[in-house]
Amino acid sequence: MEHVDLPKFPTRPGYMTEKVQRDYIQVAIERKLLPAEAHRVADILSLTAPSNVSKPIQFWQLYSMLGQDPIVEIVYSFYQRVFTQEDWFRSVFERVGDINHHVNTQASMWIDVMGGGPYYHGAEFRLNFHHTHNAMQLMNDKGADLWSKLMLETLDASSQLKAADPRIRKSINTFLSFFMRKYANEFAFENRSFFGETNPAYKRRINFLKMTEQAIAALSEDELAEALIERGVDITQYPGKSAKVHKAMIL
């Protein structure tokens, strides 16, 4: 199984990291993308991406892979597109500041959430204030649609992502989709989460030797089957959950 040496860049929590992490984990558990015990799984909670490339990168681990420069470059490329749009869209940003202001602000928020440290002063209060006061004209179907299209163009054109670990793009898509879903609910517009493939469901490593009979029996039949297959067991010889539980107990 392929591994990479991580972290490539040192990490620390930002002003938003832990709150966003908790919120995302709760949503992901409800959608069965993360296990019910995700709040206690080291690979998930860590700010360092898993070295095992078969495991997804949570978006608060992205800084450990990317560092600051690629994040800033992606955000800068996005705002270059924003400032060439029609007045109804561009003017909302121009009233707040020039392109450098927006790049600095949004890159700081991304880095803060992604494990790069405390950069986005004011945290969620500041972010919410921006959307309800500065950007309210665009917090609707039309604004969200164009914002998402420009971000998708940016990501697809990014040289920083094309040659990188494919998990990175999926993680960025997951990050954007999480916030887009959040804003769609808050501002009552259609969810524009069409950034591409997101993180697959997290598959925990099951070690039968460290589990009680009760814990093994509590696994779903699919989880049992997958764990047995990983150990070279022909599960066609063990139809039904009880047979799989019995086999797991004697391994």
- What tens digit of pLDDT does each residue of 52-110 get? 888 899 999 999 999 999 999 999 999 999 999 999 999 999 999 999 999 999 999 99
Phi-psi region of 43 (alpha: psi -120 to 50; beta: other; left: phi over 0): alpha
Q: Say whether pLDDT at 2 is over 80.
A: no
Alpha-carbon span 112 to 7, nearest angstrom: 16
- Percent of the chain whose predicted confidence (pLDDT) is above 70: 99
Q: Is the model's pTM score more than 0.85?
A: no
CATH superfamily for domain 1-205: Globins (1.10.490.10)
Query: Per-domain residue ranges for the chain?
Result: 1-205, 208-250
Choice between 83 and 164, residue whose per-residue pLDDT is larger: 83
* Cα distances (angstroms) measured from residue 40 to each of 37, 128, 204, 240: 6, 29, 12, 30
Q: Residue 154: is it exposed, middle or buried by C-beta count within 10 angstroms (0-12/13-18/19+)?
A: buried
Alpha-carbon span 138 to 227, nearest angstrom: 47
Q: What does residue 32 show for φ and ψ, rounded to 5 degrees?
A: 60, 30
Q: Say whether pLDDT at 181 is over 60.
A: yes
Alpha-carbon span 251 to 243, nearest angstrom: 13
Pair 38, 60: CB distance under 8 Å:
no
Q: Say whether pLDDT at 213 is over 60.
A: yes
Q: What is the mean pLDDT of residues 15-22?
A: 96
